[in-house]
Chain A
């Protein structure tokens, strides 16, 4: 029983990492209908930036976090302006390929000698790990911080999107750009803001990830990114609370199936569950379907 509860804690901890990445994913998707595969590489850049902020610039945790968020926000905006904006009216497959191109670019540029080099780096221990034990159950302060950050980010983002003027403008831009412009919305700015926020979130994810799993390498974003993408879809793409729930679910499913069903098949099990859920709810757990003929 204790072990089961411990596994639940493990699952939630893993899931909150997925959720954190997933939230940013889903937000960018929700606003510009773009599966931004480069998101997980901005996540990677976020982790590396955090690394340099802490080791080279000798910043503390919070300043390093903000530094990394700022760098990634800027990076996100630049990527959007250079690589995505000219393709706004193109087929979404075209954009998808471009995001994959950007992804390859980021992965390959980070490992050049001028930047991080090809070797793995170790994310420094900015916050000393403290482990708590309660009745045989064990968890660390970093795990708590991760969960806390993802819940707060999720709530803040959801509030921003659903309740504020900027959020409405984001949704309007996503729905119909010309009509949004006729409302006086500066759509280029809104899209930039969206990317800035999404990328800053990715940076947060990167740093938290680095603290939990202190290993930095150029492809570090790929697998968590894929899982986060799955989480976003599971929750209903574009829906922030959905991404949160999706992330936690994937974390739990992965952990429990690994331990109690088969470690070799756990990824397959996670996907099978995803497919089944989508067959029952074709637009994800929280997705809505609007067909008007």
Chain B
């Protein structure tokens, strides 16, 4: 059974049919790529998967449950986490706080115990602190823990966003152009990181990216979206050689 199953997903913005009858199936622990020309509707698909936009038609089933139309924060609780195309960190909070934010919705302590600080709450807080530090260590960011997120260099911010999303304990991680603004060297590191995340956390990852080297290297399956419509789906080699994909997206050199 597939983890995520998207059927006939459609959304309209006024007159613009941004995504139309889109289908997608992602299995457990799969590395999946979503590519397509600018404005094809990829980010819009993410926004529908995470509840930011409500689809005008179709269904989204995750882990055997319909999740279309529910609130973004409830979707996180169903174990889908994401990063954003334009990084959206909590800029004035520290790196550590940013990561701890990922755990926060899972916290057990109530408001009252937070105010009077019960021993249980203190313990829970200490545990979260520890876990977050562990995660940061994995990302080689433990030294930056007390830095404000907005003061990090761009590449580090991207990685922090991924770390934060992982803290939210996802089964499916959505990455929107994680390599944007990175140089080839950094992109290569990112490639490794993504694979490693999948293996370590045993989760599926859906990736939007324009860096074909990264996509083709990492993804086991790829779906191509063009003008809101599904153009092709398949293994990387199939996509690379698909003439329609070449014409609409890859270009001669890109292929």
User: Do these two chains really belong together in a complex?
Assistant: yes
Which residues in A have some Cβ–Cβ distance to B below 8 Å? 293
Jot down 5 A-B pairs with beta carbons below 8 A, ordered by A.
Answer: A293-B43, A293-B47, A293-B52, A293-B84, A293-B85
Chain B contacts for A293, CB-based, 8 A: 43, 47, 52, 84-85
Chain A contacts for B85, CB-based, 8 A: 293
- Docked Cα-Cα span, A41 to B84, in Å, equals 44
Which residues in B have some Cβ–Cβ distance to A below 8 Å? 43, 47, 52, 84-85
- Docked Cα-Cα span, A293 to B47, in Å, equals 8
By beta carbon, the residue of chain A nearest B46 is A293
By beta carbon, the residue of chain A nearest B84 is A293
- Docked Cα-Cα span, A49 to B85, in Å, equals 54
- Docked Cα-Cα span, A293 to B11, in Å, equals 15
Q: For the complex formed, measure the closest distance between the CB of A130 and the CB atoms of chain B, giving whole angstroms.
A: 50
- Docked Cα-Cα span, A293 to B176, in Å, equals 11
- Docked Cα-Cα span, A226 to B233, in Å, equals 59
By beta carbon, the residue of chain B nearest A291 is B52
Chain A contacts for B43, CB-based, 8 A: 293
- Docked Cα-Cα span, A293 to B43, in Å, equals 8
Q: For the complex formed, measure the closest distance between the CB of A11 and the CB atoms of chain B, giving whole angstroms.
A: 35
Q: For the complex formed, measure the closest distance between the CB of B212 and the CB atoms of chain A, giving whole angstroms.
A: 24
By beta carbon, the residue of chain A nearest B82 is A293
* The 5 residue pairs across chains A and B that have the minimum distance between CB atoms: A293-B52, A293-B47, A293-B84, A293-B43, A293-B85
- Docked Cα-Cα span, A65 to B207, in Å, equals 63
- Docked Cα-Cα span, A293 to B84, in Å, equals 8
Chain A contacts for B47, CB-based, 8 A: 293
Q: For the complex formed, measure the closest distance between the CB of A46 and the CB atoms of chain B, giving whole angstroms.
A: 40
- Docked Cα-Cα span, A293 to B52, in Å, equals 8
By beta carbon, the residue of chain A nearest B72 is A293
- Docked Cα-Cα span, A293 to B174, in Å, equals 14
Q: For the complex formed, measure the closest distance between the CB of B182 and the CB atoms of chain A, giving whole angstroms.
A: 21
- Docked Cα-Cα span, A293 to B86, in Å, equals 8
- Docked Cα-Cα span, A124 to B47, in Å, equals 62
Chain A contacts for B84, CB-based, 8 A: 293
- Docked Cα-Cα span, A293 to B85, in Å, equals 8
- Docked Cα-Cα span, A293 to B49, in Å, equals 13
By beta carbon, the residue of chain A nearest B47 is A293
Q: For the complex formed, measure the closest distance between the CB of A235 and the CB atoms of chain B, giving whole angstroms.
A: 22
Q: For the complex formed, measure the closest distance between the CB of A289 and the CB atoms of chain B, giving whole angstroms.
A: 12
By beta carbon, the residue of chain A nearest B43 is A293
Q: For the complex formed, measure the closest distance between the CB of A42 and the CB atoms of chain B, giving whole angstroms.
A: 34
